[in-house]
Amino acid sequence: MQKSIRVLGVDPGLANTGWGVIEYSNSKFTLVSYGVITTSNSEEHSVRLLKIYNCLSKIIDEFKPDEAGMETLYFARNVTSAMSVAEARGVATLCFAQHCIKLGEYTPNQIKQSVTGTAAADKELVEYYVKLLLGVKSEIKPDHASDALAGAITHVNSIAIKL
């Protein structure tokens, strides 16, 4: 009998943090839920980060993931944007640590390779394979949620030998 695992994927961002929960059992992925945590630039910066933390905590409490997967920070041309993503990643990492959830972190190329079979995949191909692997016919929107699900799938693929 094969072990099942529930994984929460996160696509961190200050304005939009995508999240997606999947289950993996008997060599099959199943979509549990997904969404996006949105904050407004009219809110204080610290309040936005706190909102991300609180929402992730509620998602963890509701869906009880065993582990998590998240994309590593890549260097963007816009330093301000990269800093905001880094802060959102820090909040998510803290949230996982406080809930004793093991976190796997993956580069964009690792995620593309894991989900599609090629590190050269574009965003549309990754989204297509996320839907295919999860058996979902409708679009997974917003894109941040699809990216989060790709992170969760990558995490399962990285630990599948242990299952």
Q: Which residues are catalytic?
A: 11, 71, 144
Helices (H), the chain: 45-63, 79-98, 108-116, 123-134, 143-159
Phi-psi region of 66 (alpha: psi -120 to 50; beta: other; left: phi over 0): alpha
- Helices 79-98 and 45-63: angle between axes, nearest 10 degrees: 40
Of 73, 90, 91, residue with least CA distance to 82: 73
